[in-house]
Amino acid sequence: MNKGSAVYRGLIILALFLVSLTPGHAATGKAAMVKIGLAQNTAEIRLAAGGETALLDLGNGDPRALPWPGDQALFTAIGELIYLNEIPVGRGPLLVVPVTDFVVWDEKRYRGELIIFNQNGTLNLVNRLSLENYLRGVVPKEVPAGWPMAALKAQAIAARTYTLANSERHRNDGFQLCATTHCQVYEGVDGEHPETDRAVLESDGLVITYNGRLISAVYHDTAGGYTKDAAEIWNYEVPYLKPVPAWDTGSPYSQWNRSIAWDELRTQLGKAFPELGKLRQLSPAAFSDDGRVIKLNLQGEAGERVITGEQFRQAVGLPSSHMKIGIAYGLEPLITLWWLYGQKNPAAIISEPEVPEPVMQEPEAAGEVADWPQLQGKPPVRLVINGAGRGHGVGLSQWGAKRMAEAGYNERQILEHFYPGAKLSKMGTVPDIAGEFVSNVSK
Ligand SMILES: [Zn+2]
C-alpha cells in the first residue's frame, strides 16, 4: 500500500466522523472544534496549497477521494453541482485537508480543514479547526499583541466565551460564527502573534459564567467613562451587563467631536429611514441620567419617528452612541443650539460661535426650537456632536482592560470587574449552552 492511499483511507474515516457531527454545535472540553464561515454565497472560491493536500467529496454519506489539481483550485457552482477547474466533481460538501502545508484562500493561510458546500447554486467556504487555534487568530485582531499579558488573557477568555455562547448564530448558514465584525474578526494564521498565542495557551479552557452558565461576553473598544447597561443599548435586562467604571480615559476614543453637514446628514438618514422623507428637524427624545442623548426624534417631510442612539450611530457611522448633540444654524454668524439634559423636557441653550463645547449648566429655558427667536430665518447648517467611546459600550472595555492590567490587576479581576457577578470557570464543568441572552452585536 502506498503512502497516498493510506492517507486517503485515514481521511475517509475522519470525514465520516466529521459528517456525523451536528452542525452548529460547539462541544465544550479539550477537543472543542469550531466551524467559521469565511465566505458565503460566493460565485467562486480559489484555493492554493503549497504541499500535499487531500480533497474529499462528502456527498451522499459516501466519502470519495478526488484528485487535488495541484497548487491552484477554482471551485464554482452550477445548479446543485460543484465544479473544480470547470469539471463537475459532485454535489459536495467537499472537504479540503492540508497534509503537509496550509491551504491558502484570499492570500491568507488557514489552520485545520476547509469545507466547501453548495447553497442554492452559490458556494460557502467554512474553516473547521480547534477552538484554541481559532482563538489564536481572533485575539490579535481584537487587541494589539503588545498590550500587557493580563489584558490579552482577558480578551482571550472573553472571545472563547463569546464563541461558545454564540455557536448557534449562523446555524442556518451551515457554520457557527462568521469571520467579520458581525461575529469576531478572524483571518487565519497570518494574524497570529507569539504574545497572543501565549495568552490563549495560558488561559486554555477558561470561560466566564454567571449562575453556572456561559455569559454573553460582549466587549468593545472604549466605553468613554462608564460601561453601558445592556437594557439601554439592546432593550434587554442582563444582570452582569451593568454600568461600571470603564478605566478607559487613555483611549484615543475617550472623547471625540464630529461635525456633519446638514445635507450629508439628510442623505445618511434618508438611506436608513427612507419612509420619513427629507429630514426637516432632529431633536433629542430622551436623555440618560448622566446627560447623554439616548433617543432622538426625526421629523421628515413624510413622517416622524423616535429612534435609539444605537440606531442613530449605525445610520450616521459614529464611533459610539455616547453623545451630546447640537445644531448649528446659519447664515453667518452661525448660532449653535445645544440640547442638554433638562429635568423633564429636552431643553436648549445657545452657544456662539460654532464650537462643539456646550456650556454645561442647567438650561434657563426649555422648549421647542421654534421658541428661539434668534433662529428665525436661519436654516440648519450642520449637526455637531460631542461624543465619548467607541463601540456599543457594553461589557468589557478593551482599553479599560489595558489600563487595569497596567495598574497590576490580573485577568480574573479585570473580567469580574467588567461582568459584575460573573466568575471564571473551566470548560467542561459548565453546560454547553449559553445563558438566555445572546447578543446581536459584538462591537
Ligand atoms: Zn456573524
At residue 352, does pLDDT exceed 80?
no
Q: How many angstroms separate the alpha carbon of residue 40 from the centre of ligand 1?
A: 11
Q: How many angstroms separate the alpha carbon of residue 169 from the centre of ligand 1?
A: 7
Q: How many angstroms separate the alpha carbon of residue 303 from the centre of ligand 1?
A: 33
Return the HEC string of the chain: CCHHHHHHHHHHHHHHHHHHCCCCCCCCCCCCEEEEEEEEEECEEEEEECCCEEEEECHHHCCEEECCCCCEEEEEEECCEEEECCEEEECCCEEEEECCCCEEECCEEECCEEEEEEECCEEEEEEEEEHHHHHHHHHHHHCCCCCCHHHHHHHHHHHHHHHHHCCCCCHHHCCCEECCCCCCCCCHHHHCCHHHHHHHHHCCCEEEEECCEECCCCEECECCCECECHHHHHCCCCCCCCCCECCCCCCCCCCEEEEEEHHHHHHHHHHHCHHHCCEEEEEEEEECCCCCEEEEEEEECCCEEEEEHHHHHHHHCCCCCCEEEEEEECCCCCEEEEEECCCCCCEEEEECCCCCCCCCCCCCCECCHHHCHHHCCCCEEEEEEEECCECCCECEEHHHHHHHHHCCCCHHHHHHHHCCCCEEEECCCCCCCECCCCCCCCC
Q: How many angstroms separate the alpha carbon of residue 126 from the centre of ligand 1?
A: 13
Q: How many angstroms separate the alpha carbon of residue 136 from the centre of ligand 1?
A: 18
Range among 4-18, 155-169, 429-443 rated most confident: 155-169
Report the pLDDT averaged over residues 130-152. 97
Q: How many angstroms separate the alpha carbon of residue 166 from the centre of ligand 1?
A: 9
pLDDT tens digits along 21-73? 433 344 444 468 999 999 999 999 999 987 889 999 998 778 889 999 887 89
208 vs 15: which has the higher pLDDT: 208
pLDDT at 204: 94
pLDDT at 362: 41
Q: How many angstroms separate the alpha carbon of residue 440 from the centre of ligand 1?
A: 9
pLDDT at 346: 44
Q: How many angstroms separate the alpha carbon of residue 248 from the centre of ligand 1?
A: 27
Q: How many angstroms separate the alpha carbon of residue 278 from the centre of ligand 1?
A: 33
Q: How many angstroms separate the alpha carbon of residue 203 from the centre of ligand 1?
A: 24
Q: How many angstroms separate the alpha carbon of residue 263 from the centre of ligand 1?
A: 33
At residue 437, does pLDDT exceed 60?
no
Q: How many angstroms separate the alpha carbon of residue 194 from the centre of ligand 1?
A: 26
Instruction: Calculate what percentage of the chain has a pLDDT beyond 70.
Output: 83
Q: How many angstroms separate the alpha carbon of residue 233 from the centre of ligand 1?
A: 19
Q: How many angstroms separate the alpha carbon of residue 443 from the centre of ligand 1?
A: 11
Q: How many angstroms separate the alpha carbon of residue 364 from the centre of ligand 1?
A: 48
pLDDT tens digits along 103-124? 999 999 999 999 999 999 999 9
Model confidence band, residue 247 (pLDDT cutoffs 50, 70, 90): very high
Q: How many angstroms separate the alpha carbon of residue 160 from the centre of ligand 1?
A: 15
pLDDT at 11: 54
Q: How many angstroms separate the alpha carbon of residue 298 from the centre of ligand 1?
A: 30
Of 258-262, 390-394, 429-433, the poorest mean pLDDT is in 429-433
pLDDT tens digits along 183-203? 999 999 999 999 999 999 999
Q: How many angstroms separate the alpha carbon of residue 64 from the centre of ligand 1?
A: 31
Report the pLDDT averaged over residues 216-245. 94
Q: How many angstroms separate the alpha carbon of residue 176 from the centre of ligand 1?
A: 8
Q: How many angstroms separate the alpha carbon of residue 319 from the centre of ligand 1?
A: 20
Q: How many angstroms separate the alpha carbon of residue 175 from the centre of ligand 1?
A: 10
pLDDT tens digits along 278-316? 999 898 888 887 778 899 999 999 999 999 999 999 999
Mean pLDDT of the chain: 85
Q: How many angstroms separate the alpha carbon of residue 180 from the centre of ligand 1?
A: 6
Q: How many angstroms separate the alpha carbon of residue 172 from the centre of ligand 1?
A: 11
Q: How many angstroms separate the alpha carbon of residue 216 from the centre of ligand 1?
A: 15
